[in-house]
Structure formats: C-alpha cells, structure tokens
Structure 1
Amino acid sequence: MSKPCILCCAITGSVPTQSDNSAVPITISEQVESSQAAVEAGASIIHAHVRNDDGTTTSDPEKFARLGEELRKHCPGVIIQFSTGGRSGAGAARGGMLPLRPDMASLSVGSNNFPTRVYENAPDLVSWLSEEMVKYEITPEIEAFDLSHILHAIRMHKDGKLFGKLYVQFVMGVKNAMPCDREVFDFYVKMMRERAPDAQWCAAGIGPNQIVVNEWAIAAGGHTRAGLEDNIRLDRDRLAPSNAALIARAAELCEKHERPVATPKQAREILGLRAG
C-alpha cells in the first residue's frame, strides 16, 4: 500500500500529569521541545491542549497563541491542531482560540459518557463551534466516540456545516464509551467508505489500546494518532520516555505494513489544507 499515513501526535491533553509520567509536556517550552522530537520521529500533525504552569487545564487563547507561534517557528510546516475539548473549558471558552486560525481544530459533534462524567456537547455548542471553524477557515478533526457521531458528522459535511475536507477520527477505548473492538472498527471503516468515500479517517486508542488501534488503522489504509495525551506507557512495565517514542512506534508499524509516513506537506495535500 503506497498511500502515505498521517501520524498525529497528541502531546499533552487535559488528564495526564507529570506525576503520572515526567515526560508529559506542560509548559509552552516543554510542549515545543516535545513536538520537535515527535515531528522528527514522523508526526505531521500536532494536536495541542494548553495548561497552566501548575499543570491545571485551561483554554486560555493567549497560551494557545504563544504555543502556535512557537510551533510555527520551531516545527515549520507542521499541521497545528488546537483542541476545543470539554475538559479544558466550558461553553464558548472552548472555542476562544479559533480566531487564531490554526490549520485544524478538534470537534466533538455529540455527547457520551466518560469514566466519571458525561462529556457534554450540546447541539447549540456544536453548531457554534462548527460555524466559527467555517468563519476562520479551520478544518475540523471530528472526534467520534460513537457511531452516531460519525453519521452526524457526515450529515453536517453534506449540509455544508463543516469547513474543508471531512476528516473523522475514531476514538476507541475510553471507559464507558466505545471499547476497542475490531468488529466495531471494521464497521466504522465500512461506513466511511460507503457514505463518505471522499473523506479521510484516522483512529486513536486509549491506554494500552493505542498500539492496537495504531496497527488496525495503518493496516486498513487510514491514518492514526499516538502520544502522551492518550497513553503514557510503552507497555505494562515501562513508561513512555517521550511523545517521540510513541510516534516512532507507529512509524515502525507503517514500515511493517509498507506504508510511507506522510510528511507535513503530504499531509496538507491529503487533507486539503492551505500551505504551511
């Protein structure tokens, strides 16, 4: 299979702390350094959250602005994807960074259960976030935790409510949401091929499911995500030493399945993004 595989690195997230794994990058400088290494290992998308210096979550647009500026300086051409996830803020604060015009932004189009709470994405908030992305010409990465999210995203795209090319990510292995299930994964891929044949898709697995879903996605011709946001370990006995180590592991799977790792330029072409 000659189709390049896009590797996305989810560098920080809102949950893991440095007490869980000291490699989790928290400050802007730590995030940039970790991103540089991940790009060298094969990442072409940096999926970014921001934190306060004490590690607490935030959606502060000023921090996103600083991070974006530093990533453009030190990782030229890399695709910058900001998170609008609900663990870092509420309501309109979740989209406060969108006027910065990142290349991409995550978008959850429906609600679901998380380990200890409901991950709420109300229809009016979803509509507002998608309208802001259209306004600022930002391609969303749909974070699908359920089949209904995939089908809803396909409808939204057909109705012109999502900017750019449709890009859907299957998220598998979150407790109380969609488990890591091969039959379900295969059905998701089937739905994308039949109902959105011009779209691109990727997949992410949480915790020990990361390496499993990485291989499923690479072997099936999709793209995939790795990084310390989703998984802090290499295996049961070893913490991951860096984001780069997790991306390098995914790149090795690309080699195993004879998939070239996409460069940032190739990834931009595949996703229909403006030049970096």
Structure 2
Amino acid sequence: MTKPCILCVAITGSVPTKADNPAVPITVSEQVESTHAAFEAGASICHAHVRDDDGRPSSDPDRFARLMEGVRAHCPGMIFQVSTGGRSGAGAARGGMLPLRPEMASLAVGSNNFPTRVYENPPDLVDWLAAEMIRHEITPEVEAFDLSHIHQAAAMHARGALYGRLYVQFVMGVKNAMPADRDVFDYYVKTMARLAPDAEWCAAGIGRHQIEVNEWAIAAGGHTRAGLEDNVRLDRDRLAPSNAALIARAAALCEKHGRPVASTDEARAILRLRPAA
C-alpha cells in the first residue's frame, strides 16, 4: 500500500501532568518546542489543547493564538487542529478559539461515559460548534467514541452540516467508552466504507493501546494519532521521553507496512484543506 499515512501528534491534552511524565508540555513555549520535534519526526497535524498558568485545562483564545502562531513559525505547513473538548470549558466557551480560523478542529457529535464523568455533547451544542466551523471554514475531525458517533457524523455531513471533507477519528481504549477491540475496529472501518465511502478516517488508542491501534490503522489504510495526550509511556517500564518519540514509533510502523509518512502538503491534499498560510 503506497497511500501516505497522516500522523497527528496530540501534544498535551487536558489530563496528563508533569507528575505523570515530565515531558508533558504545559506552557505555550514548551508546546511549540515539543510540536516542532514531533513535526521533524513526521507529524503533519498538531492536535492542540492549552492550559492556564496553573496547568489546568483552558479554552483561552489568546493562548491558542500564541500556540498557533508559534507552530506556524517553527513548523512550516503543519496543520493546526484545536480541541473543542469539554474538559476545557462549557457551552460556547468550547468554541471560543474558532474565530482564529485554524485549519481543523476536533468535534464530538455525541455524548458518552468517561472514566469518572459523562462527556456531555448535547445536540444543540454540537450543531452550534459545527455551524461555527462552517462559518470559519474549519474542517472538523469528528472524534468517535462510539459506533453511533460514526453514523451521526455521516448523517451530518450528508446534509451539509459539517464543513469540508468528512474525517472521522476512532477513539478506542477510554475507560467506560469503546474498548480497543480489533473486531470493533474492523467493523468501524467497514461502517465508514459503507456510510461515507469518500471520507477519510484515522484512529487513536489510549494508554497502552496506543501502539496497537496505531498499527491497526496504518495496516488498514487509515491515518493515526500518537502523543502524550493519549499515552505517557513507551511501555510498562519506561516513560515516553517526548511526543517526538511516540510519533517516531508510529512512523516506524508506516515503514513496516510499506506506507510513506504524509508530508504536510500531502496531508492537506488528502483532507482537502486550504493551502498553508
């Protein structure tokens, strides 16, 4: 298979702290430096969360603006993808950074359980976030924590409620949500082919499942995500030294399965994004 594989680096997230792994980048300057190293290792998308001065999750548009500026300056052509996830704010605050017009933004289209809470994505909020992405010409990366989310994404895209090319990410291994199960993964792939044959998809595994889900996705012709947001370890005995190390591991799997790692230009073409600014 010669189709290029897009590698997305999830640099920080809302949960990991330096107590979990000192390599987790918290400040904007740390995030830019960590993203640059991952970019050099093969990542063409930066999936970004920001933190406040106390290290807590934030939706602060000013911090997103500084991070986007830094990534664009140090990682030419890299696709910047903001998170609109619910740990960083509530209601419209979750989309407060969308006027910055990043190329992409994450979008959860349904609710599900997380380890200790309900991840609430009510229909009115989902519709508003999707409309804001249309308004600012931002392609969503739909984060599917459940089979129903794939069906919802396909239906929304078919009726013109999602901007750009449909791109769905299977998130597997979150406690109380969809486990990292190979039969389920294979069914997700078949479901995407049936409901949205023109779409692209990727997959992310949480914790120890990161490496196996990376390989499933790469071998099956999809794209994949790695990084310290999802997994702070290389294995049971070793912390990951950087985001770049986790991206390099995914890039090695691409080589194993005969797939080139997508350049930023190739990633933009595959996802039908606007050219780099």
TM-score (norm 2): 0.99
Q: CA deviation at 1:54?
A: 2.0
1:65-94: CA deviations, max 9, x gaps? Answer: 111111111111000000000011100000
| Partner residue in 1 for 2:96 | 96
1:139-164: CA deviations, max 9, x gaps? Answer: 00000000000000000000000000
* In structure 1, C-alpha distance between the alignment counterparts of 2:140 and 2:161, rounded to whole Å: 11
| Partner residue in 2 for 1:186 | 186
| Partner residue in 2 for 1:2 | 2
Give 3-state SS (helix, strand or coil) of 1:208's partner: helix
| Partner residue in 2 for 1:157 | 157
Give 3-state SS (helix, strand or coil) of 2:207's partner: coil
Structure 1's consecutive aligned runs of 4 or more residues displaced over 2 angstroms after TM superposition are none
* In structure 1, C-alpha distance between the alignment counterparts of 2:127 and 2:192, rounded to whole Å: 22
* In structure 1, C-alpha distance between the alignment counterparts of 2:122 and 2:152, rounded to whole Å: 13
| Partner residue in 2 for 1:209 | 209
**Which residues of structure 2 form unaligned runs of 5+?**
none
* In structure 2, C-alpha distance between the alignment counterparts of 1:62 and 1:14, rounded to whole Å: 17
2:251 aligned partner, one-letter code: A
Map of 1:78-117 to 2, 5 A cutoff?
78-117=78-117
Q: CA deviation at 1:194?
A: 1.4
| Partner residue in 2 for 1:71 | 71
| Partner residue in 2 for 1:136 | 136
Map of 1:1-276 to 2, 5 A cutoff?
1-276=1-276
1:148-181: CA deviations, max 9, x gaps? Answer: 0000000000000000000000000000000000
* In structure 2, C-alpha distance between the alignment counterparts of 1:31 and 1:205, rounded to whole Å: 21
* In structure 1, C-alpha distance between the alignment counterparts of 2:159 and 2:181, rounded to whole Å: 30
* In structure 2, C-alpha distance between the alignment counterparts of 1:116 and 1:215, rounded to whole Å: 28
- What RMSD over aligned residues (CA atoms) do the two structures have, in Å? 0.4
* In structure 1, C-alpha distance between the alignment counterparts of 2:173 and 2:216, rounded to whole Å: 14
1:28 aligned partner, one-letter code: V
1:224 aligned partner, one-letter code: T
1:4-29: CA deviations, max 9, x gaps? Answer: 00000000000000011000000000
TM-score (norm 1): 1.00
* In structure 2, C-alpha distance between the alignment counterparts of 1:34 and 1:70, rounded to whole Å: 11
Q: Could you tell me the percent identity over the aligned residues?
A: 77
Q: CA deviation at 1:195?
A: 1.3
Give 3-state SS (helix, strand or coil) of 1:171's partner: strand
* In structure 2, C-alpha distance between the alignment counterparts of 1:58 and 1:193, rounded to whole Å: 36
* In structure 2, C-alpha distance between the alignment counterparts of 1:258 and 1:106, rounded to whole Å: 29
Aligned length: 276
1:200-225: CA deviations, max 9, x gaps? Answer: 00000000000000000000000000
